[in-house]
Every structure is written in structure tokens, then in C-alpha cells.
């Protein structure tokens, strides 16, 4: 357990950072600290907070669905399916990270789990995820995202990089 303690701290730090950034945005817009679902009704969407550069804005949006509107066909049961499916996958990731992952896999898995838990907290509290980072080129905008999404993407990227490096080592070792 001692070898995993630092990764559990990383997960908690990611959750805290994610929730603090989202909470600060809601507070800046409404003057209130977001507690639960009523915050959903307080903020018009999308809400442009700041034009930072010619390619980046800080906006405020609610994402009630998943990436690219997956699970939309489930109708009213979609939020429950999303919450339970996300919690199940996070559980699998944490189990693998604690029990089976090698030392190079633990940090990427901690990033993924921390980001996923940050977004899961939003889904449970508000029924949607708060997104606010808006990158664009001219009028073409990438879908808004948040700090948790950044950690998930970086974690997946590191995990893939780890897999590629390990694969290359295996191939080189088999040639000798």
C-alpha cells in the first residue's frame, strides 16, 4: 500500500484542483459557492467569461452528456447510466493501479482516475460537468473542456507512450 500512497495523493490533488477551478468559476459568475443541482439554473449557457487570446477563451458551459454526445439515445436514464458506468470504470482503473500495474503505469492511471473522479463529482452534484477551457481558430471552436479532461488526456497519452516503450523493449529483447 505504501507504494501506492503517493498516487492516491496525486488523485486527491487532481480532484481538489479540478473542483477548485470549477467552483471558482461558478463563484465568479454567480457570487455563490456551488453546492448542488440548483447551480445548474443560475448560469446562462454558454457564458463567455473572458477573451484571453486570439485562440483561447474562458467560457462557462454545462456538459450534461458525454464526449461527443454519446449515450444521448438513452433519454432520461442516461445520467444514471453515465454515473454508474463511470464509477465502474474508475473502480477497475483503481483496482488495476493498486494491485497489478507496474511502476510506469501508476502515474498515468492516477491522472486518468483523478480526472474521471473530478468529472464524476460534477455529474453527481449537478447532473452535468462544468467545462470552461475554449480553444479556437477563428470561428472554429474545439469543444470546451476542463482541468479534469486535461488530466485524463495526459494520462491516456502517458499510458500509450508507456505501452509503446514497453513494446519496443520486448521487441528489442526478443531480437537478442
Q: Which of 18, 122, 131, 134 is catalytic?
A: 131
Catalytic-residue membership of 134: no
Extended beta strands in 19-164, E state: 47-53, 56-63, 129-137, 140-141
Q: Which of 18, 122, 134, 149 is catalytic?
A: 149
Query: Per the structure block, which three cell numbers stand in for 41?
Result: 439554473
Q: Centre a 10 Å sphere on the Cβ of residue 116 and count the other Cβ atoms it contains.
A: 24
CA distance 22 to 130: 7
Is residue 47 packed enough to be buried (19+ CB in 10 Å), middle (13-18) or exposed (0-12)? middle
Catalytic-residue membership of 131: yes
Question: What is the separation of C-alpha 16 from the centre of its chain, rounded to a whole number of angstroms?
Answer: 12
Q: Is 41 helix (H, G, I), strand (E, B) or coil?
A: helix
Active site residues: 131, 149
Amino acid at each position: 500500500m505504501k507504494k501506492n500512497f503517493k498516487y492516491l495523493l496525486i488523485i486527491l490533488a487532481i480532484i481538489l484542483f479540478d473542483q477548485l477551478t470549477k467552483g471558482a468559476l461558478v463563484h465568479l459568475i454567480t457570487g455563490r459557492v456551488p453546492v448542488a443541482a440548483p447551480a445548474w439554473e443560475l448560469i446562462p449557457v454558454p457564458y463567455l467569461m473572458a477573451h484571453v487570446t486570439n485562440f483561447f477563451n474562458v467560457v462557462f458551459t454545462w456538459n450534461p452528456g458525454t464526449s461527443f454526445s454519446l449515450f444521448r439515445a438513452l433519454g432520461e436514464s442516461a445520467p444514471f447510466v453515465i454515473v454508474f458506468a463511470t464509477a465502474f470504470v474508475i473502480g477497475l482503473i483503481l483496482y488495476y493501479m493498486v494491485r497489478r500495474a507496474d511502476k510506469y503505469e501508476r502515474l498515468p492511471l492516477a491522472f486518468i482516475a483523478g480526472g474521471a473522479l473530478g468529472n464524476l463529482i460534477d455529474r453527481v452534484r449537478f447532473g452535468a460537468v462544468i467545462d470552461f477551457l475554449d480553444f479556437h481558430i477563428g470561428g472554429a471552436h474545439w469543444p470546451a473542456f476542463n482541468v479534469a479532461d486535461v488530466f485524463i488526456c495526459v494520462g491516456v497519452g502517458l499510458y500509450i507512450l508507456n505501452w509503446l516503450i514497453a513494446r519496443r523493449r520486448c521487441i528489442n529483447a526478443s531480437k537478442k
